[in-house]
C-alpha cells in the first residue's frame, strides 16, 4: 500500500471515539496522541480532555447591524454575528452595553 504520510482518523461525536485509519477494526478506538483542543460541544468535556475557556467583553461601539466590505470575497458582511457553537457563544449584554465572546474548548496535553 502506498504510504503518502497522511493520517486519517474518524471522529464519532456521539460516542466521543476516534478511530485512526491505520488501526485495526477490532482495536479499541482512542484519541490520537498529542496535545490539541477541540471546540466544546454543549455538555462539556469528557476524559481525557479538560475544559479550557477564554472570554472577551468589549464596549458596544459598533452597532449590531453595521457592515464592512470584504475585498477578498467582494461581499458585504456584518461585523457582528451573534451565535452559539457548542458551549461557545457571542452575545450582547444590553444592560452593560458590551459584546461578550466566550470560547470553550476541550483540550488534552499528550
Ligand atoms: C463586486 O461586486 C459588485 C456588485 O455586485 C460588482 O459591481 C463589481 O463588479 C464586483 N467587483 C469585482 C472586482 O468582482
- Dist CA 4 CA 7 (whole Å): 9
The pLDDT of residue 45 is above 70 = yes
31 Cα–ligand 1 center, Å: 46
pTM higher than 0.85, yes or no?
Answer: no
68 Cα–ligand 1 center, Å: 15
The pLDDT of residue 78 is above 60 = yes
The pLDDT of residue 17 is above 50 = yes
Q: Which of 43, 13, 40, 19 is CA-nearest to residue 31? A: 19
25 Cα–ligand 1 center, Å: 51
Which of the 8 DSSP states describes residue 33? S
User: Residue 1 — pLDDT band, cuts 50, 70, 90?
Assistant: very low
- Dist CA 74 CA 89 (whole Å): 27
38 Cα–ligand 1 center, Å: 37
* Cell representation of residue 72: 477578498
The pLDDT of residue 13 is above 60 = no
74 Cα–ligand 1 center, Å: 6
Mean pLDDT of all residues in the chain? 83
75 Cα–ligand 1 center, Å: 8
Amino acid at each position: 500500500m502506498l504510504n503518502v504520510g497522511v493520517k486519517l482518523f474518524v471522529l464519532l461525536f456521539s460516542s466521543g471515539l476516534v478511530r485512526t485509519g491505520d488501526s485495526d477494526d477490532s482495536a479499541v478506538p482512542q484519541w490520537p496522541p498529542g496535545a490539541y483542543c477541540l471546540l466544546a460541544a454543549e455538555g462539556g468535556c469528557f476524559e481525557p480532555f479538560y475544559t479550557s475557556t477564554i472570554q472577551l467583553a468589549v464596549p458596544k461601539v459598533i452597532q449590531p447591524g453595521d457592515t464592512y466590505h470584504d475585498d477578498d470575497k467582494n461581499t458585504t458582511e456584518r461585523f457582528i454575528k451573534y451565535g452559539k457553537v457548542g458551549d461557545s457563544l457571542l452575545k450582547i449584554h444590553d444592560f452593560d452595553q458590551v459584546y461578550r465572546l466566550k470560547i470553550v474548548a476541550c483540550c488534552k496535553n499528550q
